Amino acid sequence: MSVSMMSTFVKPMHPEGRKFVAIAAAITLVLFWIWHPLGWIGTGITIWVYYFFRDPERVTPLRPGLMVSPADGVISLLEPAVPPAELGLGDQPMTRISVFMSVFNCHVNRIPHEGTVTTVAYRPGKFLNASLDKASEDNERNGLTVQIADGREYGVVQIAGLVARRILCWTDEGTRKGRGERFGLIRFGSRLDIYLPEGVEPMVEIGQTMIAGETVLADLGAVKEA
């Protein structure tokens, strides 16, 4: 498969962004009518809105057992934490990897590892800075529990941020999803938490840059010794 110069710089846009680009473009036309310099500012904002809702294709690793990042961004937290009760993953700490997404990251979310979605649970909440630890407990969130073929389960939680005001999830309970497959989107800055199955070691570090559907988080086949 060849890659053209155009496809390198111009990425497809997720349908969720069409109305926002249309609104920004309409405002831009009005700004041009008022004063040309304002119109050029509006043009820049319209381009940014399009860029925010970009939905590029990703090349997901094929090796069995690998978990990939569900989001673009930076690892902001890596620590044991009790998963949200609504996920049904128990009350014991699991390794939590938090990926913080700024307003400049692609915000389409992808499944870390293939499996069956057994739980989809939305919980309203606050809109604190998503980089804060307490955002996992206090902020609006939507969580998925995914059961893999060997019966183990992991959790992935979409968390709203300071300027995020809408979590979208187009995945239902009972649906089987492939690794790297799209499952949702969060508008305008947010975070995703991943809860690894017991005994699975993370293969990332705090501060590392993630690419959704491509960057490897962990290897489910490499279970640490007791």
Active-site residue set: 190
Cβ atoms within 10 Å, residue 160 = 26
Quote the DSSP letter at residue 131: T
CA–CA gap between residue 212 and residue 202 (Å, rounded): 16
- Angle (deg, nearest 10), helices 18-34 and 36-52: 170
Rounded (10°) CA dihedral 80, 152, 154, 195? 10
Q: Helices (H) and strands (E) in the chain — how many of each?
A: 4, 14
Q: Which residues contact 5 (CB under 8 A, 6 or more apart)?
A: none
3-state secondary structure of 178: coil
Nearest to 56 by CA among 114, 116, 7, 124: 7
